[in-house]
Chain A
């Protein structure tokens, strides 16, 4: 059995470790490229959202490389994602691919039974050690990436942080020992935390990222918006991380309560997906003193459309600038860059003016 799964940010490293440690052969899809996108777009319903199309492209490229078992998320909602696995399976079968598909549905006991049926018996000890390794890798990736999002704004040499992160990822990917994972994490945390040099723009600017989880976590689909913000000298923070999401999903954490309370003034009911998180986190970031918030979602995403129509009220009520991007296969790099540059200029002018405490006299200089 050769296992594959869809890409989502850098989580491939952790998921791969999980199945390898369980003794399976893993054939991860090649990194998402324009070819992945083209394949997905060609064989997907036109009105499906971008994550669907990229997943499908991932599956095709992995199956072409010999994978024969697809692992995919399912569930009843929180949006039409719950139905994606079924539709993708049907499309792939119609194209003539031969494979099995395991869809993770809610319910621990039904899953355990199904896992046994699909993968055969695996010892509990093996499962525990595999989960421990994968979880530690996932935690390390998220912890270091959190720092990457902050430190790009103050790197001395352009691209320095990206290079550090790439080295870190490669090392984490190569090791199969939990202790090594922890050591590598410590090493890179220290290097990154020591980067306390001057901000590229001269002043610190902080932006919170909110929106639909796939668009936030996967740099290919959001046209590397975090990297672009880093290049512009902006610190980025977000609450959406794979490990964070899992902890909440498994009820080991309850950020939902906090988010719901923050959102309640503007939205008091579940609207699917991460709609309420988008509103709640925008409010939280505003109150923490962030300079701006950027919302990301796939084109036609209902929960994010609802959130985006409420955001102007939040922006006004909390006094925080908000910029929304919806992405599909037609999104163009230049358009995103122009809007981002303008947004960052706007945040900078606002901050500089607030510091001066005077009206704009035409003498405030834009950072280069």
Chain B
């Protein structure tokens, strides 16, 4: 293994913030999976500290960020590449299973499908009007039933005859689950029914009109749920692979893209170093009163200095 430089991928999502440390060949060395808890900057700093403690003094040659918090993470870290989560997930899946043709990804609040042919993403879709069947909803149901989320899927596997749950909408799905519970159906049958309903919902909404062909890879936080995996296999009629690092694929992809960028352009990284875990980051926001759009402008400060600003639609606040 070459030791002359590492790459860092950071995926700041709605539910989790993941860091992936890659070696100089782009292989995963270490992953950190943290709950975002609505504090993306603190969690990034926490993640860096964990990596630094474990690998003191390592040199980072490139940084990539992705996820809904990619821009924030990008300015905080000094990223070389800021990429959307569809591209990073596709790249990571292709790296780990080179002949992959379909990527199913279900995260905390979004779900997507990526169709890949000969290593190139050729089509994709992302949930737009509805988040039924994503990780947040499963979290909520597990909490309501007082089952640890890690065991949720195992319950589903115990079912013999899954009941049919209305999966169109997460609110109605919950009502329907309560209804079925009150009729006396057993928990495993209901949970299995929920998994099947969510898979149906996903395939009808996100997967609509897409050519789902094996090999199929299932990744994102929800891929931990063996019940959903089994429901996918039943519905698609083919095996579904869950990669070993299914929960940090976005971060891996961001790291791979950062590595490609640095090597191809022969660039030096913008990474500010592990010292930023001790920096003081502050955010503030205000509503602009310049026109009836009332843009909500956010400022990002690093040690008291303004480093980024966004949320505007015109040129009035283009200061940084």
Contacts and interface: CB of A to CB of B under 8 A. Distances in A.
Interface of A: 30-31, 33-36, 159, 224, 299, 309, 312, 315, 321, 326, 330, 334-335, 337-339, 341-343, 345-346, 349-350, 353, 359-366, 368
A345 B123 contact: no
Contacts of A363: 260, 264
Interface residues of B, number: 35
Contacts of A159: 315
B126 interface: yes
B120 A353 contact: yes
Contact of B261 (A312, A346, A361, A365): A365
A129 to B, nearest CB: 35
Interface string B284-304: 000000011110000000000
Contacts of A362: 26, 91, 94-95, 119, 256, 260
SS of B interface (majority): mixed
A334 to B, nearest CB: 7
Interface string B105-144: 0000000000000111111101011000000000000000
Contacts of A326: 128
B268 interface: no
5 closest cross-chain pairs (CB), A and B: A360-B119, A342-B86, A35-B292, A33-B292, A365-B264
B229 interface: no
Contact of B294 (A34, A36, A334): A34
Nearest to B260: A365
A341 B87 contact: yes
Contact of A334 (B68, B91, B264, B292): B68
Given A362-B256, A368-B261, A350 B120 contact: yes
B84 interface: yes
A245 to B, nearest CB: 27
Given A362-B256, A365-B264, A366-B261, A346 B292 contact: no
B85 interface: yes
Given A341-B84, A341-B87, A364-B260, 6 more contacts: A315-B123, A339-B126, A343-B124, A360-B118, A362-B26, A362-B119
